[in-house]
Amino acid sequence: MASERLTQIDEAARISSAPRDDFATANAFRNDDLTRQNFALALVLANRYDDAQKVLRQIAAPVDGTTSRDPNVAECVYFIWAIATPDSSLSSRAANFLVFLDENRSSQELNGIDKDSFAALMQIVARELPRAELPCGSLGKIKSIMALLS
């Protein structure tokens, strides 16, 4: 446990920008899921997707057409998964956005998602994010996060 904490503190020191420093340091000292979500968001905004995914995996794995959400995990985590995996398949990203929206789709429906339907889904997510339960709903006020949905 102590060595893991030191590793996290080292990670905080390795990240160079001030906002990321704040999130990395907070994550190192306050090791909870909400802080991990904020740290993952900071990493996404820095285009450090692999690092964001490592942080998210400490909370939950992403969903896809064959897996379902963990009912003990906040829906916002799946929103962050969707934006933290820009190189993943549209169906995989859509599955995570749909969990955020509290909707379910079959594997067959997810596999049929094309660029146009994915773009329409992102518009729905952009509309619903500010209306989501707090603290996730507050992300709808952050322009850089909303820009990821356009």
pLDDT per position in the chain (150 positions), as tens?
Answer: 444 544 554 454 454 455 555 555 554 556 789 989 999 999 999 999 999 999 999 999 999 888 888 999 999 999 999 999 999 999 999 999 999 999 988 888 999 899 999 999 999 999 999 999 988 999 999 999 999 998
Residue 22's domain comprises 2-147
pLDDT in tens, 11-21: 544 544 555 55
Query: What is the tally of structural domains in the chain?
Result: 1
* Cα(67)–Cα(9) distance, integer angstroms: 33
Q: Which of 65, 64, 44, 63 is nearest to 53 (CA)?
A: 44
Is the previous residue joined to 62 through a cis bond, with omega within 30 degrees of 0? no
The neighbour count for residue 50, using CB atoms within 10 Å, is: 9
C-alpha pair distances (Å), 29 with each of 60, 64, 74, 96, 143: 20, 32, 21, 28, 27
Residue 66 has a pLDDT of 84
CA distances from 141 to 25, 76, 78, 87, 109 (A): 23, 15, 18, 25, 31
Q: Is the dihedral of CA 148, 102, 108, 120 positive or negative?
A: negative
Residues found in the chain: 150
SS3 label, residue 3: helix
pTM greater than 0.85 (yes/no): no
Tell me how far apart the alpha carbons of residues 80 and 1 are, in angstroms, rounded to a whole number: 26
